[in-house]
Amino acid sequence: MSDFFKKQALLFGIIAGAIIGAGAGIFFPDFSIKMKILGDLFLNALKMMVIPIIVVSMISGITNLQGTKRLGKLGLRTLVYYLSTTGIAVAIGMMMVLSIKPGLGFPLSGAEIPEKISTETSYSVVDMIESLIHPNLFQAAAEMKILPIIIASILFGLALNAIGEKGETAISFFASLNDAVMKLVRWIMFFAPIGIFALIAYRFGITGGGNAVVNLIRSLGKYFITVVSALTIHSVIILAMILLFFGKRNPINYFFTVGKALLTAFATASSSATLPITMECVSEEGGVSKKTSGFVLPLGATINMDGTAMYEAVAAIFIAQSYGIELAGAKLLIVFFTATIAGIGAAGIPEAGLVTMVLVLQSVGLPVEGIGMILAIDWLLDRCRTTVNVWGDAVGACVIDYYESRNEE
Ligand code: ASP
């Protein structure tokens, strides 16, 4: 038992940091707001590692795979996992919101929609596809546009494989760079208890402390409960069963293994910023091969968003219910598909889901202004869905790795 506590000391430190942070934010909001700098330092350190970790782990993952056929198989498995779990998540969300009906009788309010959302109304699938290739990789990196970096890294890895012996030096260069980057992540992780404490304390603090948070939850009570219970069902039942039956892992043990990443996801509301810690937990501590995690996790942090896709569907139907607009038959099917696409298209950054939600609302003719009603609580629900997004990635890495390893035998 003591061995367990020793191994999980950092996790318990982070849990304590999160709880104390929430308590500080609720009871001492003024003090908590001053903690911002500590949270920012931690967050910046994580963000600093995102691009290096993607480039290095993708390239060394691909070069380890040796061959486009293996990559094709891994890619296919990854897509099947992403799409099926996201589809299940959206379906659960839709069933919950259609049966609880949190929007019925909900007072329409005219909250202002932030510019970033109202100016994005032209967001489309074509934009999404176009953004896959960026003409300037440095600019893409500077703007944290991750998909073009992933694609360029895959291509570069394939090219290194293709040139045979001449690529060996570069391949081993990236392999040792990978180890160094992971070492750095481990160092940063030691600051996680303080960083997570500060991030959570600040966020609860700027909301105005305990009463403000309680009032906020109360004002959107049924909606809040619908989203949180749908997210919980998906993570605790569906993903856990997938892990058990398809990944042959004990979900509770694995949950503890990736707990640090899940709490970081809650504290940062960003799958991308959490990526370095997800990598460390899944591959270094969870025993998932670097070949698989190097490919599945960076891609997952960008496109596999079960929580976000589910949220998009729940929010759209909630908005329709509040406006007294009935969505049925084909329209529900459209919500299902556009929510899945909007989840894939959302960046792994805070509140990105709100921007891509425009796509869902417009596809079934719902007023974009409806977003104004759920804006106030989005910071909190964003954290919950980001945690589910990261859990989905971590489970996926395990399941896909199980099949990959069977392939090798
Ligand atoms: N914040 C989420 C993430 O990073 C995206 C979203 O749902 O807004 O995973």
409 has a pLDDT exceeding 80 = no
For 110, residues 6+ apart whose C-beta sits below 8 A from its C-beta are 369, 372
Pick from 203, 265, 189, 267: nearest CA to 35: 203
| Amino acid identity at 47 | K
* Residue 203 alpha carbon to ligand 1 centre in Å: 16
Mean pLDDT over the full length of the chain: 89
pLDDT of residue 96: 95
Compute the distance between CA of residue 369 and CA of residue 255 in angstroms, rounded to an integer.
Answer: 38
Compute the distance between CA of residue 127 and CA of residue 133 in angstroms, rounded to an integer.
Answer: 11
Reported as a single tens digit per residue, the pLDDT across 8-66 is 788 899 999 999 999 998 888 889 899 999 999 999 999 999 999 999 999 988 888 76
pLDDT of residue 199: 93
Q: Which of 33-37, 371-375, 397-401 has the lowest mean pLDDT?
A: 371-375
Compute the distance between CA of residue 172 and CA of residue 184 in angstroms, rounded to an integer.
Answer: 19
Compute the distance between CA of residue 42 and CA of residue 142 in angstroms, rounded to an integer.
Answer: 19
* Residue 346 alpha carbon to ligand 1 centre in Å: 7
Reported as a single tens digit per residue, the pLDDT across 101-158 is 998 877 766 555 656 555 555 556 777 788 788 999 999 999 888 889 999 999 999 9
| Amino acid identity at 6 | K
The response to whether residue 387 sits with its C-beta less than 6 Å from ligand 1 reads: no
Tell me what the mean pLDDT of segment 299-307 comes to: 93
Nearest CA owner, ligand 1 atom 1: 350
Atom of ligand 1 nearest to the CA of 308: 7
C-alpha count within 13 angstroms, C-beta hemisphere, residue 378: 21
Helix, strand or coil for residue 18? helix
Question: Alpha helices of 280-370 — where are they, by DSSP H?
Answer: 290-303, 306-322, 330-345, 352-363
Compute the distance between CA of residue 138 and CA of residue 134 in angstroms, rounded to an integer.
Answer: 9
Question: Based on the number of CB atoms within 10 Å of its own CB, is 285 exposed (0-12), middle (13-18) or buried (19 or more)?
Answer: middle
Reported as a single tens digit per residue, the pLDDT across 202-253 is 988 888 777 777 777 777 888 999 999 999 999 999 999 999 999 999 999 9
Compute the distance between CA of residue 405 and CA of residue 402 in angstroms, rounded to an integer.
Answer: 5
* Residue 103 alpha carbon to ligand 1 centre in Å: 23
**Residue tagged 């909007």 (tokens):** 342
pLDDT of residue 78: 93
pLDDT of residue 308: 96
| Amino acid identity at 224 | F
89 vs 71 pLDDT, higher one: 89
Tell me what the mean pLDDT of segment 266-286 comes to: 94
Regarding pTM above 0.85, the answer is yes
Q: Residue 101 is encoded by which pair of tokens?
A: 């009906």
Phi (first) and psi of residue 258, to 5 degrees: -100, 10
Chain centre distance of CA 179: 24
Q: Following CA atoms 18, 22, 23, 27 in sequence, which dihedral angle do they give, to the nearest 10 degrees? A: 160
pLDDT of residue 99: 94
221 vs 93 pLDDT, higher one: 93
The response to whether residue 381 sits with its C-beta less than 6 Å from ligand 1 reads: no
pLDDT of residue 253: 93
* Residue 144 alpha carbon to ligand 1 centre in Å: 14
Helix, strand or coil for residue 104? coil
Reported as a single tens digit per residue, the pLDDT across 316-353 is 999 999 888 888 888 999 999 999 998 988 889 998 89
pLDDT of residue 56: 93
pLDDT of residue 234: 97
